[in-house]
Amino acid sequence: MQTSIQIPPVAVALAVDLLTGGNVVAFPTETVYGLGADATRPDAVEMVYRVKGRPPNNPLIIHTADTAAAEHCAGGWNPAAKILAQAFWPGPLTMVLPRGPHICKAACAGLDTMAIRVPNHPIALEILNRFGRPVCAPSANLSGHTSPTSAAHVLAELDGRIPLIVDGGNCTIGLESTVVDMTTDSPRVLRPGAVTLEMIQRQIAAAGLNLAVLSGAPDGSADSPEETRAMASPGLFPRHYAPRTPAFRFSRSSMPGVLNWLKEAGIGRRVILVAFPDLPPIPGVSEVLTLPAGGAACAQQLYATLRRADESGGDVILLEMPELRSGVWAAIEDRMNRAAQELP
């Protein structure tokens, strides 16, 4: 199959035709590029999983053009969901709600709940508006790999596997949406993103709702924390968003360990360093790629930088972890933890 890259308005018309025919199409959102299909058609949903090689137990996010359409798709809606939709939609917040009858079970990995959001991107919204039906769209990359934040990234991942990439330039946010579970008594952030825990807590409090907003995996009956996490949000795998080159993470405070590792394991290997500004030079490193010091800019460029590191022909990538933890840094840290292993 020939993969074509097009820009609007032609691209939007082609995308709507493809979606109407039960096909898949890659399109930009403010978070990352998505691989969309009609969320009400099992054959179309199945194609998304097949093209990505995505495990069937990893549910997709449903996208709609506005809150009214999202309400129509959901099998239930509550006051807290209403507040968050008002505050953050269109935007990078995904809410887990009861699944409505029109949404394919397969799109939700067989669950009775579904994840849904209204994206804040003019091209995505135009496609959704003109198509008029909910679109399930995971990131437009092969399963487990770094998410695409430009049309060129999508092509590098899915060339020959999909008919069309709608080119909308670079994504402005660059990290996948925040996922918050709204089906339990207290909303729980399952995946951090650009809409931070603090922002959600502020909105809930300002609305006068007496609800705690939690984050991370709930304490369940599973044996391990990872199992508990997988029960709460299937698809949040410990290794994900990852470059193909073996990648190891480190923090500035553990530099002696890094230097020792380089002296032993690094000998004869081409080491690519991805780090924040002003890291003292490290002997034995072949190439340095710098991440922006600001949170929003770092989020926006993280995946593109990991891709460049992957493409630079190294044997190993060393990734510096951020020192800050709050706000969007929580999301950056989360993705880096999945992209790279702890330095042995």
x-or-dash string of contact with Mg ion, 309-328, rule CB under 5 A: --------------------
For ligand AMP, the closer of residues 187 and 235 by Cβ is 235
For ligand AMP, the closer of residues 12 and 115 by Cβ is 115
Please report how close the Cβ of residue 138 comes to Mg ion at its closest, in angstroms: 5
x-or-dash string of contact with Mg ion, 100-139, rule CB under 5 A: --------------------------------------xx
Nearest to 229 by CA among 174, 273, 268, 191: 191
For ligand AMP, the closer of residues 61 and 328 by Cβ is 61
- Count CB atoms within 10 A of the CB of residue 72: 13
Give the integer Cα–Cα distance in Å for 137 and 28: 11
For Mg ion, the closer of residues 149 and 272 by Cβ is 149
**Partner from Mg ion, ligand AMP, none binding residue 23, C-beta < 5-8 Å depending on class:** none
Give the integer Cα–Cα distance in Å for 333 and 179: 16
**Partner from Mg ion, ligand AMP, none binding residue 115, C-beta < 5-8 Å depending on class:** ligand AMP
**Partner from Mg ion, ligand AMP, none binding residue 58, C-beta < 5-8 Å depending on class:** ligand AMP
> In the chain, which ranges are continuous DSSP H helix?
10-20, 42-52, 67-73, 79-88, 122-131, 151-158, 197-206, 225-232, 255-264, 295-311, 328-339
**Partner from ligand AMP, Mg ion, none binding residue 62, C-beta < 5-8 Å depending on class:** none
Sign of CA dihedral 136, 141, 147, 148: negative
Nearest to 186 by CA among 221, 156, 210, 155: 210
Please report how close the Cβ of residue 241 comes to ligand AMP at its closest, in angstroms: 9
Please report how close the Cβ of residue 113 comes to ligand AMP at its closest, in angstroms: 4
**Partner from Mg ion, ligand AMP, none binding residue 30, C-beta < 5-8 Å depending on class:** none
Q: Where are the beta strands (DSSP E) in 106-215?
A: 113-117, 135-136, 164-166, 178-181, 188-191, 214-215
SS3 55: coil
Please report how close the Cβ of residue 311 comes to ligand AMP at its closest, in angstroms: 23
Residues that bind ligand AMP (CB under 6 A): 58-61, 96, 108, 111, 113-115, 138-139, 176, 179, 190-191, 233, 235-236
For Mg ion, the closer of residues 31 and 120 by Cβ is 31
- Which string of b and e fits 225-263 if b means at least 16 CB within 10 Å? eeebbbebbbbbbeebbbbebebbbbeeeeeeebeebbe
Give the integer Cα–Cα distance in Å for 42 and 10: 27
Residue whose beta carbon is closest to ligand AMP = 235
For Mg ion, the closer of residues 59 and 138 by Cβ is 138
**Partner from ligand AMP, Mg ion, none binding residue 194, C-beta < 5-8 Å depending on class:** none
Please report how close the Cβ of residue 237 comes to ligand AMP at its closest, in angstroms: 8
DSSP structural state of residue 103: S
For Mg ion, the closer of residues 139 and 150 by Cβ is 139
Give the integer Cα–Cα distance in Å for 117 and 136: 10
